[in-house]
Amino acid sequence: MQYVHAHLTGPITLDQLAGLAALSPYHFARAFKSTTGMPPHRFVTTTRLETAKAALVNSRRPVAEIAHAVGFGNVSHFRRLFHRELGLRPAQLRR
């Protein structure tokens, strides 16, 4: 979990996370879900969205800049995912 927070801006793969834990990707994913209640990919996405949400509320940085800063390479994907998961668009949260 600390690795995810520290490396949020770049790609984070299951293989990387499993390697850090010295487990196979399959066993890591099962252990991670058992511990956190969500699969690793979902944890990474949720962490990225929560970090973006805080940045939107606490700064005036452009949405595209925030999206890239939390690891989303595609701003449209970020906006769609943000809306799907949080129920509002990034600009709406800012208001």
Range of the domain at 43: 2-94
Length of the chain: 95
Would you state the pLDDT for residue 94?
83
Tokens matching residue 60? 């005036």
With residues binned 3-state (H G I as helix, E B as strand, rest as coil), the percentages for the chain, rounded to 5, are: 70, 0, 30
Rounded distance between C-alpha atoms, residue 57 and residue 2, angstroms: 23
Would you state the pLDDT for residue 64?
95
Block residue for tokens 């793969």: 13
User: What CATH number is given to the structural domain containing 17?
Assistant: 1.10.10.60
Q: What is the pLDDT along the chain (95 residues), one digit of tens a residue?
A: 899 999 999 999 999 999 999 999 999 999 999 999 999 999 999 999 999 999 999 999 999 999 999 999 999 999 999 999 999 999 898 87
Q: How many distinct structural domains can be found in the chain?
A: 1
Would you state the pLDDT for residue 1?
87
Rounded distance between C-alpha atoms, residue 56 and residue 66, angstroms: 8
